[in-house]
Chains A and B, each alone.
Chain A
Amino acid sequence: MHYIEPHIHMISRTTDDYHRMAMAGCVACTEPAFWAGYDRPHPEAFADYFEHLTSFERGRAARFSIAHHCWLCINPKEAEDVAFSREVIQIVRQFIDRPGVVGIGEIGFNKNSRNELTILEEQVALAVELNQLILVHTPHMEDKLKGTRLTLDVLDAHGVSPDRAMIDHMEEHTTRLVRDRGYWVGMTIYPDTKFTPQRAVDTIETLAGDRLWINSSADWAYSDPLLLPQTRFEMQRRGHTEAMIQKVLYDNPLQFLSQSGKFKVTVT
């Protein structure tokens, strides 16, 4: 069965991973712009990064018939420097019309700081101005609940249509908050510490599989690009129907991402 990996940082992964994902049924992926593990020394470094995401990575994925797409932004971990972030936002404008760019992301909070809030507001305003989909990164651990609340307030204040914003890295204490305000729920599955395939399927069950997606968010840290097939197996062993599995792993991300007008599941 085919699946879509809607949040993965392939720049950090090997070509072997594309091969293994393709063999497991992956036909398309989207790669949000994120932190490289260190703060980039110059805003211009983001021009190189966005060039990589919109050209090299697309070609590398296409060799395995995986349609690669990306999201552009200044990520929250580097948003504490407001002047630096504003320069990056100007670079985002230069790349946003490239093929395969599906929206602004992953934006949001990391430590819930005032400067992070300022840059989040400016990027949400940019997405509204350019009519772009939004992918939200929510903070980890003890910062997640507060960061999710603050983010939803920003989205509401800017008049973002809840249909067009995915709030990612949700866990049991934030899914209802997001769902009750009409936004999409994203869940990231990790090999350790944060969220497991079992808990993801628990949440899928309590939300009846509606308006949600799951992803591996695999990157340069300890992570696993095959956590979606593993979660598919968890759904199968609990006795979920093929229709339900397809809804979660394919139909839902397709529905959300198709709103961008630039998302294709076949390599072009």
Chain B
Amino acid sequence: MTDQSHTCPMTASNVIETYFLEHRGKLLDIAAFLDRVDRASGAPDAKGDFLIKALHEGLRLVASDEPGRARRLLESLSDPTNEPIPAAHTKSASGAYDEKS
């Protein structure tokens, strides 16, 4: 990875000032979403849902100090295999790779 420092024309304090409230709101949305799952019927089973597990793993990556968080988060949600699948049975994607699929 090439050095990405100084590629954004703003100062760091400018970036924080401009975007903090927006991202504070997005973080709260995630917290409220996880609370909503807990309040719903069938909540104990949802703990093992691959999408919820993927989100928890994603939160761990986001909390990292290393740059490249968005890339690593997307990689963690990706199908790691290399071979084409035998046939497409659906047209849509779920948002995270399900190892059991």
Interfacial residues, chain A to chain B (CB-CB below 8 A): 35, 77, 80, 110-117, 139-146, 149-150, 171-173, 176, 198-199, 202, 205-206, 208, 237-240
Contact = CB atoms under 8 A, between A and B. Distances in A.
Interface residues of B, number: 32
**A contact patch SS:** helix
A65 to B, nearest CB: 33
A143 B9 CA distance: 33
Given A116-B84, A146-B80, A206-B7, 10 more contacts: A110-B88, A113-B87, A140-B93, A141-B93, A142-B77, A144-B78, A146-B79, A150-B82, A171-B74, A205-B7
Interface in B50-101: 68, 70-72, 74-75, 77-82, 84-88, 90-91, 93-97
B41 interface: no
A145 B88 contact: no
Contacts of B91: 35, 77, 110-111
Nearest to A150: B84
Nearest to B22: A198
A145 B9 contact: no
B9 A139 contact: no
Given A142-B93, A143-B93, A199-B70, A113 B78 contact: no
Contacts of A208: 7
Contact of A206 (B4, B84, B88, B95): B4
Interface of B: 1, 4, 7-10, 18-19, 68, 70-72, 74-75, 77-82, 84-88, 90-91, 93-97
B86 A113 contact: yes
Contact of B82 (A142, A146, A240): A146
A208 B94 CA distance: 32
B45 to A, nearest CB: 22
A145 B74 contact: yes
B85 A237 contact: no
Nearest to B95: A141
A142 B95 contact: yes
